[in-house]
Amino acid sequence: MPDQRLRHGFGRLLVFVYGVFAVAATGRSTLQLLTVASEAPLAYGLSALAAVVYLVATFALATGRRSLALVTVGIELVGVLLVGLTSLLVPQDYADTTVWSDFGSGYAFVPLVLPVAGLWWLLRNRDSGDLGR
Amino acid sequence: MKSLQLALTALCLLSALWLVVLIIRDRTPDRFVLNALAVVEVGLLVNMVLGIVRVTSEANDVAAWEYVAYLVGATLILPAGVVWSLGERTRGGTAVLLAAALLVPFMFVRLSDIWAGVA
């Protein structure tokens, strides 16, 4: 059941920033996959995954789909932490940087802040006494 | 192009500062800040033209599609932000404009990184 609260107030800002990342990541990874995919398959594959996650998260937040938003924002948080950590520990495994490399330091750490802000917003706006949903 | 980008960055940061004041006071964007962002947008269009001329005429080993994509992208941020912001005349809507205003200088950094071959 859509929860319209998710797209208002602070949610308005979240949807905008998610939308910017969705557009930017999609454009970037599409061109990378079309032109230089073989140079860094892991990095560009992860970029494409990130693009899909941002797209679905934007859609879920904008339309108030709470569980879909929780899943995508959760994947995003795990992704940025995992890729951030491994890009520091085993940088040789990454032939090129991704949006999540070094915890998103190339994007002013917004990729790290965004899922945390998203989770906070989703949990803040859940219905009290309606646990287990 | 560098001095234009510096001037636009200054204008964006001033607008951002004013937007923070508006957000704290729980106001919607006023005429003042919207005019400032309109001036920035005109500057961004000039910046796009200058950049396209530069990437096609000067000798460089920059990926032209990437550079042009960033130039065009930079001009779309403020219109998208204004439209999305006006859709909800609340503090949240004002915050959308703040994000858009801060994104423009970031695009300049990316543009010069791409030009220098860093990114």
Burial class (CB in 10 A: 0-12, 13-18, 19+), A83: buried
Complex confidence, ipTM: 0.90
In the numeric block, the tokens 């905008």 are attached to A16
**Of residues B77, B95, B103, nearest to A13 (C-beta):** B95
List of chain B residues whose C-beta atoms are within 8 Å of the C-beta of residue A16:
80-81, 84, 96, 99-100
**Of residues B73, B93, B100, nearest to A12 (C-beta):** B93
Mean pLDDT of all residues in chain A? 88
Q: How confident is the model at residue A96 (pLDDT cuts 50, 70, 90)?
A: confident
Q: How confident is the model at residue A19 (pLDDT cuts 50, 70, 90)?
A: very high
Tens digit of each residue's pLDDT (9 = 90 or more) over B48-68: 999 999 999 987 788 888 899
Residue A133: what pLDDT?
42
Q: Do B90 and A17 touch (CB under 8 A)?
A: no
Residue B65: what pLDDT?
86
Q: Is the pLDDT of residue A1 over 80?
A: no
CA dihedral B98, A74, A22, A124 (to 10 degrees): -30
Tens digit of each residue's pLDDT (9 = 90 or more) over A32-66: 888 877 777 888 888 899 999 999 999 999 999 99
* pTM of the predicted model as reported, rounded to 2 decimal places: 0.90
Residue A128: what pLDDT?
55
Q: Do A16 and B103 touch (CB under 8 A)?
A: no
* Total CB pairs under 8 A between chain A and B: 45
**Of residues A13, A106, A108, nearest to B96 (C-beta):** A13
In the numeric block, the tokens 């500062």 are attached to B17
Residue B119: what pLDDT?
55
Tens digit of each residue's pLDDT (9 = 90 or more) over B22-39: 999 999 999 999 999 999
Q: Which one-letter DSSP state was computed for residue A127?
A: P
Q: Do B66 and A10 touch (CB under 8 A)?
A: no
Q: Which residues, at least 6 apart from A43, have a Cβ–Cβ distance to it below 8 Å?
A: A94, A95, A96, A97, A98, A101
C-alpha–C-alpha distance, residues A95 and A58, integer Å = 29
Using an 8 Å Cβ cutoff, are A42 and A3 in contact?
Answer: no
Q: How confident is the model at residue A94 (pLDDT cuts 50, 70, 90)?
A: confident
List of chain A residues whose C-beta atoms are within 8 Å of the C-beta of residue B96:
12-13, 16
List of chain B residues whose C-beta atoms are within 8 Å of the C-beta of residue A24:
73
